[in-house]
Structure 1
Amino acid sequence: MTISRRALLGTGAALGLLTACGSNTGREGGSGGKGPRLAQWYHQYGEPGTEQAVKRYAAAYRKADVRVQWRPGNYDEQTAAALLTDSGPDVFEVNGPSLDQIQGGQVVDLTDLFDGVRDDFNPVALAPKTYDGKIWAIPQVLDTHLLYYRKSLLADAGVRAPRSMDELVDAAKALTTKKMKGLFLGNDGGAGALGMTPLYAAGLSSVTEDGEVGFDDPAAARVLGRLRQLYADKSLLLGAPADWSDPSAFTQELTAMQWCGLWALPAVREKLGDDFGVLPLPADGPHGRPALPVGAYGAAVSARSGHKKEAKDFLKWLWIDGTRHQEDFALSYGFHIPARLSLAKKADKLTKGPAADAVRHATEHGYAEPLLWTPASRTAYQDALSRVIKSGANPESELRSVVREVRAELARVKKKS
């Protein structure tokens, strides 16, 4: 299974079996650097050239013999299991770490590596890597979802780029014809791709800063009702040949607007030139705000490593000091935003047109799921959202049930603190 960096914004459901390799038995040729041998794990990226790039970075490090292991299959579960043993990685890439891994003492505190540079990391990317005032992983790159819209099609229909959820519903309906739908949110109607984004657009959140349910509010039901209206109006493209993460439905004019990812921007630009724009999900209601999800894989150190100091030194060299490698990793293999604000600001590929708009939207309107938003809470919400959109279930009653489940889950994880 080949995984793109877009997976970091998904539901985290890719799980499988452990095939651990010890930190002293790296399968790939090492850097040959002086010092201990370090095993560095990455999940298997879909973008060509990424594997060769990370091996090149490791080979340039001279203070340890870094052995990159490219981990196909169900990486999240492989890593979670390996962290409980002495045969796992020294440093590893992680879509987290999870709250359980932090509370269980499975990862090393990396806060001291950020001395003097913490303010240069995008705060949205850093927040879910931070717990109890400490930073547990270094964000590598940012990915985000965006609302793509075709400028000419909207102009022909006399529709402006939507600035509210009501305008989005109206625009999708006006743009729907016999040959084209107004909006594509995924073949499931948007439950999987949008996730919590509608609630953030309504001015709410998954979990509040003080650790309580962030969407126990009438505004939550109202915004989910907007999604149901899109489905009921038959404005949504369903059953597309490729799902929402692929921009082909948009570039082939099966839809005038599509929720997709930043990774699709070069392909869209190649097909459509300047005839498109990007937006966050529009605000809903008087207290709403534009919203889009931001995710960042991070680099962490296993607490089981026998070379924790050397592992931290390597990560500082690569993901704190190595700005040239960071920019290369973000923009040479796929299309992503560097986690460092200074790099994102000066990167040539991100300074013009929709790419610059995407960086601005991610910086101004991006949110990240907090550590307290656990897989159990996410699953309860996703299931309810699907029932609301596709089956017309009552948003109020569905959300009441989700609030109860999330409240119980929050009590469980806070009890472990």
Structure 2
Amino acid sequence: MARPHRPLPTLSRRRMLALGGVGALGASLAACGDNTGREGSAGQEDGGGSSGGRPSIAQWYHQYGEAGTQEAVERYAADYEPADVTVFWKPGDYDQTTAASLLTDSGPDVFEYGNGPTIDMIRGDQVADLTDLFGDTLDDFTPSLVERMTYDGKIWAVPQVLDMQVLVYRRSMLEEAGIDAPQQIPDLVAAARELTRGDVKGLFLGNDGGAGLLGGPMLWAAGLDYLDGEQVGFHSAGAPEALSVLRTLWTDESLLLGQAKDWFDADALISGRTAMQWTGLWTFPAISEALGDDFGAIPWPSMEGGSPSVPVGAYGSCVSTRAGDVQAAKDFVRWLWIDQTDKQLDFATSYGFHVPSRVSLVPQAEVLSSGPAADAAGYVTEFGHAQTPLLWTPQCATAWSDMMSRIVRDGADPQEELDALVPVVEAELERVTG
């Protein structure tokens, strides 16, 4: 999962990716501020270059909230012998600050970005091609992430670790009602109704009824997607019916709404206010501590013609083409995110609850070795979808989000809404590919 994302004070670090969408990139260059990277790390205005014969590399991270993370990445940087790597921990609106800084000589040499660089960064020659870094390890990286970070046959970032969203449920509540974990969308709708009893609702998809999160999974459930290559992918038979499912759930009164803690916190499930909840993998430690083995996890169910799905996102390590020494920056990215598998495993599992981006490392992650966590980790390869395609720009994401709110909350006609969205998305596709 992943990354992209309006800061929320109760969220921490990589789980921000799982909010979906992409942050706007229209910040002015003044947003970069002072002390933005290369000047501090290289001791000179343009950064990069060398210090005492050694390359100097400025590496940017957004401000993670999980304890120990900053110390970990600083430790990794200190272990790198071929260059002097300085870590810059960037608070505030990381997405806009970073995007703006890439247009200047005061930005990073190496930086992370949610789901890899944007199409505008790639088309604007602001990031370096990293395809050659992978070598024979490419097939070991989660396929959906590699695809998300690929454009024009080249890979523009190295996935760090991933987050994901799943449907969790209280085993005891389903067993008491004689209901199996739903595998098909009609079963989910029926289960939500049946499990709604007294003060308990059957399903929690967030306070917006899933409008902000589940448009993509509903398309995938119907065998569709946001885009089909460089063409609109959502304007096909089955899309209106798929999106209308969320409206049905909204009007059924089987959804839990109005919670103080939204979908990204498992409080609704843990407290027993709902029998099923859409949430992120990061909530599993809290659920397990509170409920023991009285919970399970499944992908979002499918419809006829589609398949189950889990959205995944990851920060990708990127190299700026304005780096003082692009090759030295690329060598560092290869060392950290491809060669140093012990550090990759540490970063994924020691400071939160995440999945390594390397498939071969998942069996080595003790926290993912059993129970619902092991199930969820397995879904990444089998059912994983990047949250949105690379060509799905911020303008597309905003227009889609507004449309979903009208369909789910206001009862707007899905077909009419999809028809109106087509020219908006087509104009953006023309802009970024023309």
Q: Same fold (TM over 0.5)?
A: yes
C-alpha deviation, 1:250, in angstroms: 0.9
State how far apart, in whole Å, the 1-side matches of 2:52 and 2:342 are: 20
Give the CA deviation at 1:26: 3.7
Cα contact 2:174–2:180 (8 A) shared by 1 = yes
- Which residue of 154, 157, 166 maps to 1:146? 166
What's the CA shift string for 1:234-272, capped at 9, x where partnerless?
111111110100111111111111100011111111111
Given that 2:76 and 2:343 are in contact with CA atoms closer than 8 Å, whether structure 1 keeps it comes out as yes
Conserved in 1, the CA contact under 8 Å of 2:24 and 2:394? no
Aligned pair partner of 1:295 in 313, 321, 326: 313
Aligned twin of 2:32: 18
Query: Aligned partners of 1:201, 1:374: CA distance in 2, in Å?
Result: 22
C-alpha separation between the residues in 1 aligned to 2:53 and 2:357? 29
Structure-2 residue corresponding to 1:8 = 17
Query: Which residue is equivalent to 1:348?
Result: 366
Who is 1:223 aligned against?
Answer: 242
SS in 2 for 1:70: strand
* Comparing 214-223 and 95-104, the one that deviates more: 214-223
Residues paired across the two proteins, number: 410
Give deviations 1:218-247, integer Å, cap 9, x for gaps: 311111111111000011111111010011
- State the partner residue of 1:114: 134
Q: TM-score, normalised by structure 2?
A: 0.91
Per-residue Cα deviation, 1:329-354 (whole angstroms, up to 9, x for no partner): 00011111101110013322212111
SS in 2 for 1:139: strand
In the alignment, the residues of structure 2 paired with residue 224 and residue 192 of structure 1 have an alpha-carbon distance, to the nearest angstrom, of 12
Question: Is contact 1:99–1:372 with CA below 8 Å preserved after alignment?
Answer: yes
Q: Deviations over 1:276-335 (max 9, x none)?
A: 111111001x20110111111000111011111111111111001000000000001111
Aligned to 2:47: none
Alpha-carbon deviations, 1:366-386, whole Å to 9, x = none?
Answer: 111221111111111111111
Question: For residues 14 and 413 of structure 1, do their structure 2 counterparts lie closer, same or farther at Cα, with a shift above 3 Å needed?
Answer: closer
Distance verdict in 2 for CA 1:26–1:195, change over 3 Å? farther
Work out whether 1:333 is the aligned partner of 2:348. Answer: no
Answer yes or no: is the 8 Å Cα contact 1:147–1:280 preserved in 2: yes
Match of 1:399 in 2: 418
Q: Look up the equivalent residue of 2:39 and give its one-letter code.
A: N
| DSSP 3-state at the match of 1:148 | strand
Equivalent AA in structure 1 for residue 96 of structure 2: E
**Alpha-carbon distance in 2 for matches of 1:18, 1:234:** 47
- Output the amino acid matched with 1:24: E
Contact 2:249 2:255 in 1 (8 A): yes
Deviation at 1:24, TM superposition (A): 3.1
CA distance in 2, matches of 1:19, 1:175: 53
Task: Please give the alpha-carbon distance, in whole angstroms, between the structure 2 residues aligned to 1:213 and 1:297.
Answer: 26
For the 8 Å contact 1:22–1:86, the answer to whether it is kept is no
Taking the aligned partners of 1:387 and 1:296, their CA distance within structure 2 comes to 29
Contact 1:24 1:37 in 2 (8 A): no
**Structure 2 residue runs without a partner (length 5+):** 1-6, 44-50
AA partner of residue 175 (structure 1): L
Give the 3-state SS of the residue equivalent to 1:45 in structure 2. coil
- Aligned position for 1:163: 183
**The residue matched to 1:404 in structure 2 has which SS?**
helix
Q: Report the secondary structure of 1:398's partner residue.
A: helix
Q: Indicate the percent of aligned positions where both proteins have the same amino acid.
A: 54
d(CA) in 1 for partners of 2:71, 2:397: 34
Distance 2:157 2:332 in 1: 13
Structure 1 pair 388–33 and aligned structure 2 pair: CA distance change class (3 A): farther
* Alignment match of 2:213 (pick from 189, 193, 205): 193
The answer (yes or no) to whether the contact 1:33–1:61 under 8 Å persists in 2 is: no
- Code of the residue aligned with 1:110 in structure 2: it is L
Match of 1:215, SS state, is coil
- State the 1:14 CA deviation: 7.2
1:372 aligns with 2:399: no
Counterparts of 1:371 and 1:318, CA distance in 2: 24
The amino acid of 2:364's aligned partner reads K
Partners of 2:359 and 2:376 in 1: CA distance: 14
Call closer, same or farther: CA 1:27–1:314 in 2, change over 3 Å. Answer: closer
Query: Which amino acid letter does the alignment assign opposite residue 338 of structure 1?
Result: P
Matching residue's letter, 1:161: A
C-alpha contact 1:33 1:64 (8 A) present in aligned 2:
no
C-alpha distance in structure 1 between counterparts of 2:181 and 2:214, whole Å: 19
Alpha-carbon displacement from aligned partner over 1:66-102 (angstroms, at most 9, x marks no partner): 1101100000000000000001101001112000000
> Counterparts of 2:291 and 2:355 in 1: how far apart (Å)?
22
2:162 and 2:357 in contact (8 A); partners too: yes
CA shift in 2, pair 1:144/1:312, >3 Å: same
Cα distance in 1 for partners of 2:221, 2:33 equals: 41
Distance 1:135 1:221 in 2: 34
Aligned to 1:305: 323
CA contact (8 A) 2:42 2:56 kept: no
Q: 2:33 & 2:160 partners in 1: Cα distance?
A: 25
CA distance in structure 1 between the aligned counterparts of 2:52 and 2:369, rounded to whole angstroms: 37
* Deviation of the 1:4 alpha carbon: 2.1
Cα deviation digits, residues 152-195 of structure 1 (max 9, x gap): 00111121111111111111111112211111111111112224
- TM-score, scaled to structure 1: 0.95
